[in-house]
Structure 1
Amino acid sequence: MRADRLVAALLFLQTRQRVTAAELAAELAVSERTARRDLEALASAGIPVYSQAGQGGGWSLVGGARTDLTGLTAPEIRELFLLTGTDAHTSPQTRTALRKLVRALPAPLRDGAEAAARAGVSDGTDWAGIETEDAHLGPLQRAVVEARQVRIGYARPGGEPRERTLHPLGIASKSGVRYLVADTEQGLRTFRVDRVTSVTETGAPAVRPEGFDLPTAWRALAARMEDRMVATTVRGRVAPGTEGILEGLLGGRIRYGERAPDGWRPIEADGPSPEVIAAQLAGLGARVELLEPPEARAALSRIGTELTSLYGETGA
Structure 2
Amino acid sequence: MPLWTDFNKDFGLQVKRRKKIRDVYQVFTTTGRTLCYKPYSTGEDEVAFIRKLFVHLDDKGYRYAPKPVEGPGQKLWSFHRGQYWLLTNWVKGRSPNFTRESELMKGLRTLAKFHRVAEGFTAEGIPNGRIRYDELYQRPGDYRSDIRRHGGSLDRFIDCCYKAEAFSQKPAIASAVEMERNAGAFSHGDYNYPNLVLDRSNHLHLIDLENASMNVRMIDLAHILYRNYPWNGRGVLKGIEEYDRKRPLSAEDRHLLYMLLLLPYPLVRAMRQFGNQYLRHIELPSSSRLSGYKRTLRKLL
Normalising by the residue count of structure 2, what TM-score does the alignment of the two structures yield?
A: 0.25
Structure with greater helix percent? 2
Give the strand-richer structure, 1 or 2. Answer: 1
In our comparison, the structure showing a higher alpha carbon Rg is 1
